[in-house]
């Protein structure tokens, strides 16, 4: 294997306890225990550089903490989902539930059914699109508020089960639901990545939309990924977050050579328009079984088929949180694989609360494909959301955002900025303003229904999260509610976003 493809750094919190962590943090010892890299060329730098050790130390401590509580976090989410659905299906109040119980009419939630709503769905129950162009017709143009609304709502409902998503797309939005996919993550050894695809019409579609599911609120591994600093470097492309590569199905950190095997492959499947129905007869990774199909394999293959079927259609990719990271990583890998015929049909990428996926070199590599002839990649950030500030952006690890950033403050005023304020979140001078802003968001949440209308009224569960946000403002701000409000209530962008 080419030595240029052997550059990586993997942080492994599971390799030692707190004694070894103390020796690493303060004495610079036991580096090899916690960090794997290609040839330890960076070992001496990490051993002697306090900033390296500090960032890795924080990452390891946070991930150890999350891992320790992984099972309680899972069961908390499991029972909370059940309780919220039990309540909503029985009159949406404790008294109605009690009355149904007394009279033997309690409706038991059925997970996976069309009526079972996720925790995210209970935080924000809105399902319908908001048409903003006056005539009710959908027009797929970048910068069109109707398209932005479709993207944030698609990102939000991606957290739901397939039956609910299909019902919303087909009957609430009057669009065509293509399919929902559970995709294989070889590092986790399970189907832990989810994505769904829709078209704006069944026949002669103008738009194909791909929506990746984001960070699950009670999935410890998802949150641990956001605090991971491991990367893999693609020659002439840049460093990419390993956890996101794994979620897309492009490798396994326990076998770093798998990243080379998946990423160095190029487009050798024939033209998109040469008559092959799809690449199912020439799979991207032939050794995988059908049960182990990855998100990249599935979405790429289905896009080929849909773009051939709908001659005039373009496609857009979207996602919230982790889903946003996968949304921008997917076209990045298409470019790496020289899938330029597919990329020519890219309308754009909208992400919401997206973490950083790579370094500055990666941004420079993708700019020609996302900024010309007009911007195609917009990264929406709401106020103090912590996730867009992860992984850490400093002179050591060099994780950097790229693309156009549409930043909304707590008054939903939009600004086009190069980087969101307080880019690493933990600056001491921002602490007071973060908590004061959380107080304002709580007051705003209690009054939104009266000021903006019934659509914006926040339920008791969302208000409870607002209260928790008084202590953890960055996590409360990550909820899709404020992203939906930002798109629907925010002022028009000051930048020029032409149609394509």
Cα 23 vs. chain centroid, distance in angstroms?
A: 35
d(CA 8, CA 5): 9
In sign, the C-alpha dihedral spanning 106, 92, 121, 423 is negative
Q: Which of 276, 270, 292, 404 is nearest to 348 (CA)?
A: 404
β-partners of residue 207 are 314
Whether 485 contacts 407, CB under 8 Å:
no
Non-local CB neighbours of 302 within 8 Å, separated by 6+ positions: 178, 179, 197, 278
Q: How far is CA 325 from CA 53, 242, 330, 352, in A?
A: 26, 12, 9, 9
Whether 35 contacts 397, CB under 8 Å:
no
Total length of the chain: 500
β-partners of residue 358 are 240, 400
Q: How far is CA 84 from CA 73, 94, 121, 160, 442, in A?
A: 16, 11, 10, 14, 21
Q: Which of 221, 241, 401, 478 is catalytic?
A: 478
Count Cβ atoms within 10 A of the Cβ of residue 198 and give its class: 0-12 exposed, 13-18 middle, 19 or more buried: buried
Q: Which of 137, 135, 118, 136 is nearest to 127 (CA)?
A: 118
> Which helix (DSSP H) or strand (DSSP E) does residue 294 occupy?
none
Q: Which of 385, 401, 476, 482 is catalytic?
A: 385
- Does the annotation count 435 as an active-site position? no
d(CA 380, CA 497): 14
d(CA 115, CA 231): 40
- Does the annotation count 310 as an active-site position? no
Gyration radius of the chain's alpha carbons? 23
Give the number of C-alpha atoms closer than 13 A to the C-alpha of residue 269, restricted to the C-beta side: 28
Q: What angle in degrees, to the nearest 10, is found between the helix axes of 431-452 and 460-468?
A: 160
Whether 209 contacts 203, CB under 8 Å:
no
- Does the annotation count 81 as an active-site position? no
Q: Which of 363, 426, 362, 433 is nearest to 394 (CA)?
A: 426
Q: What is the DSSP letter of 250?
A: S
Q: Which of 224, 321, 476, 486 is catalytic?
A: 321
> Which helix (DSSP H) or strand (DSSP E) does residue 492 occupy?
none
Q: What is the set of active-site residues? A: 321, 385, 478
């Amino acid at each position: 294997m080419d030595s240029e493809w052997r550059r990586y750094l993997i942080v492994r919190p599971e390799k030692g306890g707190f004694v070894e962590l103390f020796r690493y943090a303060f004495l610079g010892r036991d580096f090899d225990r916690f960090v794997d890299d290609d040839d330890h060329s960076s070992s001496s730098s990490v051993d002697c550089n306090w900033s390296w050790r500090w960032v890795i130390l924080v990452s390891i401590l946070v991930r150890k903490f999350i891992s320790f509580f992984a099972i309680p976090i899972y069961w908390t989410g499991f029972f909370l989902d059940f309780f919220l659905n039990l309540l909503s299906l029985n009159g949406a109040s404790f008294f109605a539930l009690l009355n149904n119980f007394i009279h033997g009419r309690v409706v038991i939630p059925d997970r996976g059914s069309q009526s079972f709503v996720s925790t995210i769905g209970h935080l924000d129950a809105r399902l319908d699109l908001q048409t903003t162009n006056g005539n009710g017709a959908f027009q797929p143009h970048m910068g069109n508020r109707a398209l932005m609304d479709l993207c944030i709502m698609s990102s939000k409902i991606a957290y739901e089960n397939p039956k609910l998503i299909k019902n919303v797309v087909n009957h609430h939005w009057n669009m065509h639901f293509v399919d929902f996919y559970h995709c294989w993550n070889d590092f986790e050894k399970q189907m832990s990545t989810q994505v769904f695809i829709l078209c704006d019409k069944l026949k002669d579609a103008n738009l194909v939309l791909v929506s990746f599911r984001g960070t699950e609120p009670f999935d410890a591994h998802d949150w641990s990924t956001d605090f991971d600093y491991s990367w893999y470097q693609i020659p002439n492309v840049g460093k990419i977050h390993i956890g996101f590569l794994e979620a897309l199905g492009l490798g396994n950190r326990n076998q770093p050579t798998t990243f080379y095997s998946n990423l160095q492959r190029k487009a050798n499947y024939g033209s998109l328009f040469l008559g092959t129905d799809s690449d199912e007869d020439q799979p991207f990774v032939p050794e995988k079984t059908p049960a182990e199909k990855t998100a990249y394999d599935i979405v790429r293959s289905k896009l080929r088929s849909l773009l051939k079927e709908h001659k005039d259609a373009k496609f857009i990719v979207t996602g919230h949180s982790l889903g946003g990271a996968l949304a921008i990583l997917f076209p990045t890998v298409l470019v790496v694989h020289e899938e330029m015929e597919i990329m020519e049909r890219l309308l754009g990428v909208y992400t919401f609360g997206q973490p950083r996926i790579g370094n500055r070199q990666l941004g420079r590599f993708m700019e020609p494909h996302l900024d010309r002839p007009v911007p195609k990649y917009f990264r929406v950030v709401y106020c103090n959301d912590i996730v867009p500030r992860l992984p850490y952006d400093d002179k050591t690890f060099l994780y950097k955002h790229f693309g156009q950033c549409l930043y909304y403050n707590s008054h939903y005023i939009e600004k086009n900025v190069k980087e969101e304020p307080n880019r690493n979140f933990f600056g001491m001078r921002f602490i007071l303003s973060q908590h004061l802003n959380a107080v304002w968001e709580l007051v705003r949440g209690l009054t939104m229904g009266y000021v903006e209308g019934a659509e914006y009224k926040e339920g008791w569960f969302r208000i409870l999260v607002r209260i928790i946000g008084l202590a953890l403002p960055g996590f409360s701000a990550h909820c899709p509610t404020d992203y939906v409000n930002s798109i629907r209530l925010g002022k028009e962008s000051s930048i020029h976003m032409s149609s394509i």
